Amino acid sequence: MQLLVLVEDKDAATVSQQRRGGGRKRASALKHSESEDLATLSVDVARFWQQAYDELVTMEERLLAQLEQMLPKLSTAARREAELTNLPMINDHLQTFRYRRAHWQSRLEQLNGKLSRR
């Protein structure tokens, strides 16, 4: 995609941009989990992350439902762009958050089991 951008020093300059994503680098899902101690022995820490991911899953599910309601109302071009960009991004986030939530739920169950055996 080519964008024409007016530049004060010149009449115009052509700026190339990636088709989707505007040239921004995608943040790795692993980077977001760097602050998580996956092997924590703290029930409070495991509960914190399980609840955080539960909120994120709920948010992404709502966003997805809202987008799916809006798609039929969009123009063909806008609908296609949303299907190619927004839907995959939301689904990717949702999958990551569900995976992380499941990990923390499992960790919480493990820790609760260990605590009850003491």
Nearest by Cα to 99 from 68, 62, 54: 54
Give residue for tokens 């924590």. Answer: 40
**What's 87's DSSP letter?**
H
Determine the average pLDDT of the residues in 5-24: 40
d(CA 107, CA 110): 5
Q: Tell me the pLDDT tens digit for each residue of 105-114.
A: 999 999 988 7
pLDDT for position 44: 94
pLDDT at 88 over 80: yes
What proportion of the chain, given as a percentage, has pLDDT over 70? 68
Cα 43 to chain centroid, rounded = 25
Nearest by Cα to 36 from 24, 50, 21: 50
Q: Tell me the pLDDT tens digit for each residue of 23-67.
A: 445 555 445 566 788 888 999 999 999 999 999 999 999 999 999
pLDDT for position 114: 72
Residue 40's CB is within 10 A of a number of other CB atoms, namely 16
Give residue for tokens 């820790």. Answer: 111
Contact 50, 104 (CB under 8 A): yes
pLDDT at 84 over 90: yes
Domain ranges of the chain: 29-117
Determine the average pLDDT of the residues in 82-106: 95
